[in-house]
Amino acid sequence: MKKDVILVVGCGSIGERHLRCFQRTGRAEVVACDNNVVLLERVAQQYGVTQFIDFNVALAARKYDGIVIATPAHTHVALALAALRHGAAVFIEKPLSTGFDKVDELRNTAARSGPFTAVAYVYHVMPWILGARAFLRSGKLGIPMHVTVTAGQHFPTFRPAYREIYYTRHESGGGAIQDALTHIANVVEWLVGPTTRLFCDAAHQVLEGVTVEDTVNVTAHNGNVLVNYALNQFQAPNEMTLQINCEGGSVRVEGHEQRWSVFRRGAKEWKHHKAAPLERDDIFIAQANAFLDGMRRKPTPLATIAEAAQTLKFNLAALESSRSGKAIELS
């Protein structure tokens, strides 16, 4: 089968992972673009790929089947619009953006243009999320009523450069809400429907060298479902527990255990579902394969631009609520 030509724009932390994982699908010829010349040179050497320092020069040089946008969030929409004008399928890192500017234009252009588009909310390909979602949709436990999420990790351990990247400012997608909570808010919306109202309390508690929030509590309504999130980025354990309580029992996802579980009303214990352990790259290879499948018009679980635009509303409402101290209704 002919390989798809995939341009990765932004080859920093996650862009390099995309580059490597698209390569590892065996289905893609990858090209690298980053405006940091030292980083670009190292990545191009290491993976043996063609390199471009300038996105527009890369677009003019040849035709790409797909473009992965892995730059900081405030640059995503403009780059995605240019990628769509090029005629490529577009895969945009989360969050979709840091504001609503040109988001409707992006949605309309994507809807009108032929090629596939998706947003890289990577939880959508995690088997423990997919298993829980399929089970919830079977309706065996009745309607979800209440969701609780507890999550956290020691961010400096996983991202030692956090003081030098987009993370330091809300304007470039930084802080716990846009960086970490957005993944979980998006997946909760995917499981039980869009957020309609929220109140957010957030603060900078621990992380040195930054002032953005590293700790967040959100209480939300997703329609008739009540949702509660507690997340921080300094705790020692790297854990995420998401529990969906339905009339007939509860479904629990433990990301750190890579498992989902069911406790039916009347049962004595949890019934766990756990597959073979996965490395982080395995998940990103699955995500790359899903995108390549989408380019061939196969069904995929990937987040749509419309879903990511809804989660952008969550992000911005959470920031506004934490600033104003007021609950926000999401339109």
Ligand X SMILES: NC(=O)c1ccc[n+]([C@@H]2O[C@H](COP(=O)([O-])OP(=O)(O)OC[C@H]3O[C@@H](n4cnc5c(N)ncnc54)[C@H](O)[C@@H]3O)[C@@H](O)[C@H]2O)c1
Contacts to ligand X by CB under 6 A: 9-15, 33-36, 39, 55, 70-73, 75, 93-94, 120, 122, 165-166, 173, 179
Closest approach of Cβ 287 to ligand X, in Å?
9
- Between residues 61 and 165, which has the closer beta carbon with respect to ligand X? 165
- The rounded distance, in Å, linking the Cα atoms of 238 and 330 is 30
E strands along 164-248, which residues? 197-203, 215-222, 225-232, 239-246
Three-state DSSP at 161 gives coil
Closest approach of Cβ 99 to ligand X, in Å?
14
Q: Is 240 exposed, middle or buried (0-12, 13-18, 19+ CB in 10 A)?
A: buried
- Between residues 39 and 206, which has the closer beta carbon with respect to ligand X? 39
Q: Give the CA count within 13 Å in the CB-facing half-sphere of 150.
A: 7
Closest approach of Cβ 152 to ligand X, in Å?
15
Closest approach of Cβ 55 to ligand X, in Å?
5
Closest approach of Cβ 254 to ligand X, in Å?
18
Structure tokens at 56: 């527009």
DSSP state of 256: G
Across-strand partners of 245?
146, 250
- Between residues 33 and 132, which has the closer beta carbon with respect to ligand X? 33
Cβ-closest residue to ligand X? 12
Three-state DSSP at 323 gives helix
- Between residues 15 and 144, which has the closer beta carbon with respect to ligand X? 15
Across-strand partners of 152?
232, 239
Place of tokens 């999401």: 330
Closest approach of Cβ 4 to ligand X, in Å?
20
Residues 6 or more apart from 269 whose CB is under 8 A from it?
263
- Between residues 122 and 200, which has the closer beta carbon with respect to ligand X? 122
- The rounded distance, in Å, linking the Cα atoms of 132 and 121 is 17
Closest approach of Cβ 178 to ligand X, in Å?
7
- Between residues 123 and 245, which has the closer beta carbon with respect to ligand X? 123
- Between residues 143 and 161, which has the closer beta carbon with respect to ligand X? 161
Place of tokens 């997340």: 231
